[in-house]
Amino acid sequence: MSKNRHYQLYIDGAWCEGSERQTMTSQNPATGRDWASFACASPDDVDRAISAARRVLDDPEWRDMTQTNRGKLLYRLAELIEENAAHLGQIETTDSGKLLAETSAQTAYVADYYRYFAGLADKIEGAVLPIDKPDMHVFTRREPLGVVVAIVPWNAQMFLTATKVGPALAAGCSVVLKASEIAPAPMLEFAKLVEQAGFPKGVVSVITGDAENCAIPLTRHPDVDRIAFTGGPETARHVVRNSAENFAVTSLELGGKSPILVFEDADLEGAANGLIAGNFGASGQSCVAGSRGIVHRSILNDLATRIQEKMADVTIGDPLEAATRIGPLCTKAQVDKIKTMLSKATSQGAEIRFGGYQPDRDGNFFAPTLVTCPNTDIETLKVEMFGPVMSLIPFDTEEEAITIANDTPFGLGSGVFTQNVARAHRVSSRIKAGICWVNTYRAISPIAPFGGFNQSGYGREAGVDSIHDYTRTKTVWLNTSDQPMANPFIMR
């Protein structure tokens, strides 16, 4: 990977510096050294991107394009993503510290999301209504919602972009994609593929920058019709307030503190693997991280021992190396937060079974950590850690397990490990979360809706219905009578 890369903004089909010539640098989390710089958008740049997105909606090249041909463009984009998955994965790993094996595989799979929405592009249908009035033919049609602002974080940006940009383009909208100011390089590489796929100028712009100069003017811009946001709850509150300025339709996919319930009849091998995937996959930097392991008291020690044995020989190191299983965290601030939270948890009576330290090496590394908790007041059970920290707490009854699982303001992911099918149905129906995995964890598909309850946000991404979230319904009344319209002042 060459050093000192520089990325420009992609606005209205052209690459450019920000109008105020501001730049930021991006550090390689594995080394702690700068590896790239990128242009930052100003309010004027935001306005140019939104203006281009608004203009192209009335451009016959995009406005009059058939839905089938829009689907073909998305198919072409999917092919390009798949062809460039290794390159995109390397960029994302260098920028964010996630394992290359994960970033390249996830990027390749993301191509299927674009294919899925490409297939839905010409399946957007209206309906003829059996209206209760004579001589009236009434039908509905779904039309593009308009200008979409898609805001994605750094931790799963190719996936989270696909669930927003895919249905928006399939519906005929235009998109301004705002990449995180942390590790934005993959999104700017993605813009190159959008350009190569042949989308008309202005249909997709990709920008990044800080809150004051980029995010705020973007989310409150009067020409924005829809905001699709993934990020933290505090930022989301600002987004919602800003959307009051333009009444943009808004969906939020936020954080989580997901529970994984392990019952006494669970397959311990599968449960251990599920907890490891839910906590140490992506080094714990996942909104669906199953960081609250709620385990039947009779098996907690055996399960913890099994997890510890599996993690004993795990390699912590360079995320570009094939042998590495735990890479660095994206930012030093995450490492500092974890150290503070663990210190507080142990002062509250929690026990660190393994890990709990920062390896003696350059970069933002933190060892995978297992904490056992005597009660639900422990800090690591309350706060979204966004790092490789697993907390286990015992339960004695099914009702107690469900109560602990729902003792959170969040509600994104959840997991249940049991061999009792009746229990699986019973418990999954009572957990207050948008997703429940049974005897597995972190599985995704373009066919399956993704989203949360409570402070984990609202709205759903992926699935057949998500494309409708980027359309609005128009009702058309057609008088089929040969007679002129009746005099409205003569009541019958």
Q: Considering the entire predicted model, what is its pTM?
A: 0.95
Q: What are the tokens at 249? A: 């339709």
Cβ(252)–Cβ(452) below 8 Å: no
pLDDT in tens, 403-424: 999 999 999 999 999 999 999 9
Residue 1, pLDDT above cutoff 50: no
pLDDT in tens, 364-392: 999 999 999 999 999 999 999 999 999 99
If you count them, how many residues does the chain have? 492
Residue 205, pLDDT above cutoff 70: yes
Section 482-492 average pLDDT: 88
Nearest CA-CA partner of 326 in 31, 43, 73, 98: 98
Structural domain boundaries in the chain: 5-254+452-476, 259-438
The Cα 228–Cα 439 span in angstroms is 31
- CB hemisphere CA count around 286 (13 angstroms): 27
- Looking at residue 48, what is its pLDDT? 98
* From 189, 253, 379, 461, the catalytic residue: 253
- CB hemisphere CA count around 282 (13 angstroms): 23
Q: Give the position of tokens 């550090």.
A: 27
What are the start-end ranges of the H helices in 183-267? 185-197, 216-219, 233-243
Q: Give the position of tokens 């997703």.
A: 435
Cβ(227)–Cβ(238) below 8 Å: no
pLDDT in tens, 221-260: 999 999 999 999 999 999 999 999 999 999 999 999 999 9
Cβ(259)–Cβ(414) below 8 Å: yes
Residue 41, pLDDT above cutoff 70: yes
**Intrachain domains 5-254+452-476 and 259-438 with the same fold:** no
Who's near 357: CB < 8 A, 6+ residues apart? 366, 367
Which CATH code of 3.40.309.10, 3.10.129.10, 3.30.300.30, 3.30.450.20 fits the domain covering 259-438? 3.40.309.10
Q: Beginning with the edge strand found earlier in the chain, give each strand of the sheet holding 23-28 in spatial order.
A: 5-7, 33-39, 23-28
- Looking at residue 491, what is its pLDDT? 80
pLDDT in tens, 60-109: 999 999 999 999 999 999 999 999 999 999 999 999 999 999 999 999 99
Three-state SS string over 113-169 comes to HHHHHHHHHHHCCCEEECCCCCCEEEEEEEEECCEEEEECCCCCHHHHHHHHHHHHH
Section 390-404 average pLDDT: 98
Which CATH code of 3.40.605.10, 3.90.550.10, 3.30.300.30, 2.10.210.10 fits the domain covering 5-254+452-476? 3.40.605.10
Section 449-459 average pLDDT: 97
pLDDT over 90 for what percent of the chain? 98
Cβ(187)–Cβ(157) below 8 Å: yes
- Looking at residue 3, what is its pLDDT? 61
pLDDT over 70 for what percent of the chain? 99
- Looking at residue 4, what is its pLDDT? 80
pLDDT in tens, 272-284: 999 999 999 999 9
Section 356-368 average pLDDT: 95
- Looking at residue 208, what is its pLDDT? 98
Whether 83 is catalytic is no
Residue 148, pLDDT above cutoff 80: yes
Residue 2, pLDDT above cutoff 80: no
Taking 3-state DSSP, the helix, strand and coil percentages for the chain, each rounded to the nearest 5, stand at 40, 20, 40
The Cα 392–Cα 404 span in angstroms is 12
Kindly provide the residue ranges of all beta strands, DSSP E only, lying in 53-168, ordered along the sequence: 127-129, 136-144, 147-151
